[in-house]
Structure 1
Amino acid sequence: MSLKKGLRRAGRADNAAILTAVSKTQPWEVIRPVLEAGHRRFGENRVQEAMERWGPVKDQYPDLTLCLIGPLQSNKAAEAVGFFDVIESVDRDKIARAIADEIQKQGRAPEIQIQVNIGEEPQKAGILPLEADAFIAAARGYGLTISGLMCIPPVDGPRGPYFALLRKIAERNGIAHLSMGMSDDYETALRFGSNEIRVGTAIFGSR
């Protein structure tokens, strides 16, 4: 896959989006070559797994950006705030309050994104689209700066309408960053304004 080619085909500038390499569950021998090639932004699903994987090497790469893209439990909020640079999966009031409290305690503020369950699928995490505006306002009320929205659309059918909906939610809430698009739909996401694609299989291969 090529992010730049996808951006150009979408009629956008080469630097209009960033690539998060989804390293969750991948063995270190597969991740290391990507890191050594110069890539510095990685996505992880679980707090403990990420800390075990990246903790021993994190200080060696001061430009490393680690993103939590999986669901976060409130009892892991302290570790998540202390370890990650970006938390993309905020989707419940309890989590938003816990993160806000930890930011105050630790004096460290990772970027915060809200996950929207854009297809309203019961098996997926995320705030429902109709509840997104109120949740964004509540999170801001706790003192959180919301840098972006994230979604994972349904696997069946066209993805474009879901990406368009997330963009509309972001626009009316004054949010510029959209984390949407993965290995099989990133070019569609880029056409709908994605600023961040999360790609695992196309980089590391199947798990």
Structure 2
Amino acid sequence: MVEPVYGLDADRVRANLVEAQERIAVAAALSGRGPEEVELLAAVKYVPLESIAVLAQAGVTLVGENRAQDLEAKAGAHPGLFTWDFIGHLQSRKVKQVLPWVRLIHSVSSDSVLEQLGRHKALAGPQLEVLIEVNVAGEASKSGVAPADLAAFAARCPVPVTGLMTMPPLAPRAEDNRRHFAALRELAEQHGLQRLSMGTSQDYEVAVEEGATIVRLGSTLYS
């Protein structure tokens, strides 16, 4: 079980942030892109409310939360300090709670969530976009739309769909997930979608090489 991250030091986080940005720049160059084409999102599921402001001191501007109630508490406590995305599994009953705070929801994958987006989208800012979570590996234990169902699902979404997200299987080596990242990129290209949220602390460089436009980093920033 992952423990909350206490005692964050702004200088240490800043140094880790710079190193991650440098690694992203190298990986982006390998895919023929500039570093400005990849957003670094700090995943704050395990960062307690009282430590969130340290991330701003370290230069973090984009953050993502997995839990609706924590998103509401953290964003509400620091209005305007960050740009917020929702990156966790989204329950339909939590859609209304999330919408006022975020620019992107990374994890839309059920018709019940689509229904709630349509019902409550007036609560969101005009910039709201969603990413559809795709189960590219076909794991029975994970949520996500099957690749074959993507077009029909996207057509039912009541807010703009601008990209895809995936959580590949746990793997001993980052390289093992390259094929899943490549599959998501190919899907996005087929459907004319620009954003690709893929890659975490364990495999973000491979994800960027395969076209990620947003990487979700946690432990690599806080350790």
TM-score (norm 2): 0.82
Are the aligned partners of 2:99 and 2:124 in contact in 1 as well (CA < 8 Å)?
no
Tell me which residue corresponds to 1:145.
160
Matching residue's letter, 2:117: I
- SS of 1:184's equivalent in the other structure is coil
Matching residue's letter, 2:204: Y
Bigger shift: residues 78-87 or 106-115: 106-115
Question: Structure 2 residue aligned with 1:39, among 49, 57, 60?
Answer: 60
Structure 1: gaps spanning 5 or more residues: none
Are the aligned partners of 1:180 and 1:186 in contact in 2 as well (CA < 8 Å)?
yes
CA apart distance, 1:3: 2.5
- SS of 2:84's equivalent in the other structure is strand
Tell me which residue corresponds to 2:9.
none
Matching residue's letter, 2:84: L
- SS of 2:136's equivalent in the other structure is coil
CA apart distance, 1:83: 2.0
5 Å-filtered alignment, 1:66-145, equals 66-103=84-121, 105-106=122-123, 108-109=125-126, 110-139=128-157, 142=158, 144-145=159-160
Are the aligned partners of 1:46 and 1:70 in contact in 2 as well (CA < 8 Å)?
yes
Q: Distance in 1 between matches of 2:27 and 2:134?
A: 27
CA apart distance, 1:119: 1.5
Tell me which residue corresponds to 1:192.
210
Structure 2: gaps spanning 5 or more residues: 1-18
> Considering only aligned residues, what root-mean-square deviation do their CA atoms show, in Å?
1.7
4+ residue stretches of structure 1 with deviation over 4 A?
A: none
Q: Distance in 1 between matches of 2:20 and 2:88?
A: 24
- SS of 2:156's equivalent in the other structure is helix
* Percent pairwise identity: 31
Q: Distance in 1 between matches of 2:124 and 2:71?
A: 21
Tell me which residue corresponds to 2:16.
none
CA apart distance, 1:115: 0.8
CA apart distance, 1:133: 2.2
Count of residue pairs brought into register by the alignment = 198
